[in-house]
Amino acid sequence: MLDSKKAAPLDETITIEQLTRDPYPIYTRLRRESPVLRVSSVRRTMLTKAEDTKYVKDNPVLFSSNDPKTPMQRAFQAHTLMRKDGAEHAAERGAMAPSFTGKNIKACWEPIYTKIAEDFVARLPRGETVDLFPVLAGPFAAHCLKYLLGIEEARDDDMQRWSQTLIDGAGNFAMREDLFQASDAANAEMDALFETAAARHRAEPNQSALSVMVNAADPIPQSQIHANIKIAIGGGINEPRDALLTIIYGLLTNPEQFAEAKREGLWARAFEEGVRWVAPIQASSRLVMEDTEIRGCFIPKGDTVMTIQASANWDEEIYEDGHLFDIHRKKAPHQAFGNGPHFCQGTHIARRMLANIMLPLLFDRFPDMTLPDPSQVDFWGFGFRGPRHLPVILN
């Protein structure tokens, strides 16, 4: 009976390199021709329509986060909350939740992040050409995150290196041993630093994530405390970093929108459009728990579907000219931060640190910033995506 059901088409031509360099033409074609497609290179069934990606994320019983085929557990040396569902996921997510409350964002993190942003922007040289990736976006995101997590002992460079190493390992679908060796070394460094920081927090508690977790009345196991901090390092640097660079690129390549954003203070609109336009987290995997069907295609139990939120955010059924950056776009829900139980915990902090703090500060100091050569800006990444370079003139 099951054999008579229609399986999703199989593609053996799409490569991981193509998806890393420029996936959007592929996604546009798939939305039109094959929105449910088995892709050999990633060993998953890709879903490229917004309706389908949301359906999967909103149904964790049928589509579990616990996908044993992902490299994440090997890369993080732990079964992380990103691969858990139900009560187990809620318990580990909830262990960090007090650090992310609106009260703590306003009272604890906004003042710290504002001072950090002021210091970084003040050091930027007027009138010079500067690549904002290494001198601003990366270290700013890393420096802020250290305080939120309670690991101020870490160096900004190490935070960025650990983040990229974990991301490379978690996206290591080719199972390259060199990438896992690098993540093993990074895990050892992080574990040692976390233990040192935990001792400090037990003596002097505060509202940071590590402090909240180690001082809880009924703490989760140390292995999962460490895993939670690593998950935050893996996503909490690249997401605001890539979003900031994408927003700046979008504004500088659309002068009329840039002028209006400065005049009217439309930084919140710029933030939402930037993360919709190029989602920092492009794709996620889910394990199919029971035989099911999507758009008439049979999806068997044990299959892995990959929700492509990057594609969902350009879906023609929701967005007109979704390939364009447009801060005046009619408001519509995007999936840049996911949805369902795994909705990104740091969403509200990212909005505050960029829309409320960094963007207005940066363009108050450099209102005539220009992008001399847009061709030098190369967006990169399959699972995570953003510009690897953003050379601007700081006028």
Alpha helices in 150-280 (DSSP H): 156-170, 177-203, 209-214, 222-236, 238-252, 255-264, 267-277
What lies within 8 Å, CB to CB, of 213 at 6+ separation is 95, 96, 219, 220, 225, 228
Return mean pLDDT, the chain. Answer: 94
Q: What pLDDT is stored for residue 3 in this prediction? A: 47
Q: Residues 170-178: what's their mean pLDDT?
A: 84
The yes-or-no verdict on residue 109 having pLDDT over 50 is yes
pLDDT tens for 15-49 read 999 999 999 999 999 999 999 999 999 999 999 99
Contact 53, 305 (CB under 8 A): no
Q: Of residues 78 and 361, which shows the higher confidence score?
A: 361
- Could you give phi then psi for residue 307, rounded to 5 degrees? -85, 125
The yes-or-no verdict on residue 4 having pLDDT over 60 is no
Nearest 10 degrees: Cα torsion 272, 273, 278, 283: 50
The tokens for 195 are 């233990």
Q: What is 2-393's CATH superfamily?
A: Cytochrome P450 (1.10.630.10)
pLDDT tens for 72-94 read 889 998 888 888 888 888 899 99
Q: Of residues 5 and 1, which shows the higher confidence score?
A: 5
Distance CA 48, CA 276 (A): 15
Element (H, E) at 391: strand 391-393
Hey, how many other C-beta atoms are within 10 angstroms of the C-beta on 321? 10
Q: What pLDDT is stored for residue 24 in this prediction? A: 98
Distance CA 280, CA 179 (A): 21
pLDDT tens for 332-347 read 889 988 777 877 888 8
Q: What pLDDT is stored for residue 341 in this prediction? A: 80
The tokens for 323 are 């390939």
The yes-or-no verdict on residue 132 having pLDDT over 50 is yes
What lies within 8 Å, CB to CB, of 344 at 6+ separation is 235, 239, 281, 337, 338, 350
Nearest to 362, CA basis, from 96, 108, 120? 120
Task: Give the global pTM.
Answer: 0.94
The yes-or-no verdict on residue 2 having pLDDT over 70 is no
Q: Residues 364-382: what's their mean pLDDT?
A: 95
Nearest to 221, CA basis, from 99, 80, 97? 80
Q: What pLDDT is stored for residue 71 in this prediction? A: 86
Confidence of residue 161 (pLDDT cuts 50, 70, 90): very high
Distance CA 180, CA 157 (A): 20
Confidence of residue 136 (pLDDT cuts 50, 70, 90): very high
Distance CA 81, CA 92 (A): 6
Confidence of residue 307 (pLDDT cuts 50, 70, 90): very high
Q: Residues 211-227: what's their mean pLDDT?
A: 96
Q: Residues 246-269: what's their mean pLDDT?
A: 98
Residues making up the chain, counted from first to last = 395
Contact 257, 269 (CB under 8 A): no
DSSP state of 281: B
Q: What pLDDT is stored for residue 1 in this prediction? A: 40
DSSP-assigned states of every residue in 147-174: HHHT-TTS-HHHHHHHHHHHHHHHT-TT
Q: Residues 269-284: what's their mean pLDDT?
A: 96
Q: Residues 226-240: what's their mean pLDDT?
A: 93
* The residue to which tokens 């460490």 are assigned: 226
**Residue 56: exposed, middle, or buried by beta-carbon count in 10 A (0-12, 13-18, 19+)?**
buried
Taking the domains of the chain in order of start, what are their residue ranges? 2-393
